[in-house]
Amino acid sequence: MARAVTPRRKAVNTALAWAVGLLIFFPILWTILTSFKTEATAIADPPVWLFFDWTLENYAVVQERSDYSRFLWNSIIIAGGSTLLGLIIAIPAAWSMAFVPSRFTKDILLWMLSTKMLPAVGVLYPIYLIFIQFGLLDTRIGLTVVIMFINLPIIVWMLYTYFKEIPGEILEAARMDGATLREEILYVLTPMAIPGIASTVLLNVILAWNEAFWTLNLTAAKAAPLTAFIASYSSPEGLFYAKLSAASTMAIAPILILGWFSQKQLVRGLTFGAVK
Which has the closest alpha carbon to 164: 68, 65, 95, 251?
95
Judged by beta carbon, residue 125 or residue 135, the one nearer other proteins is 125
Nearest distance from residue 137's CB to other proteins, in Å? 12
* 146, HSE (Cβ side, Cα atoms, 13 Å): 26
Judged by beta carbon, residue 17 or residue 194, the one nearer other proteins is 17
Judged by beta carbon, residue 20 or residue 56, the one nearer other proteins is 20
Rounded CA-CA distance 154/82 in Å is: 13
Rounded CA-CA distance 253/59 in Å is: 13
Nearest distance from residue 139's CB to other proteins, in Å? 18
> Considering just the CA atoms, what is the radius of gyration of the chain in Å?
23
Q: Where are the alpha helices (DSSP H) in the chain?
A: 7-34, 39-42, 57-66, 68-99, 105-116, 124-133, 140-164, 168-176, 181-183, 190-210, 213-218, 226-231, 241-261, 263-270
Judged by beta carbon, residue 187 or residue 261, the one nearer other proteins is 261
Nearest distance from residue 206's CB to other proteins, in Å? 6
Judged by beta carbon, residue 57 or residue 184, the one nearer other proteins is 184
Nearest distance from residue 209's CB to other proteins, in Å? 7
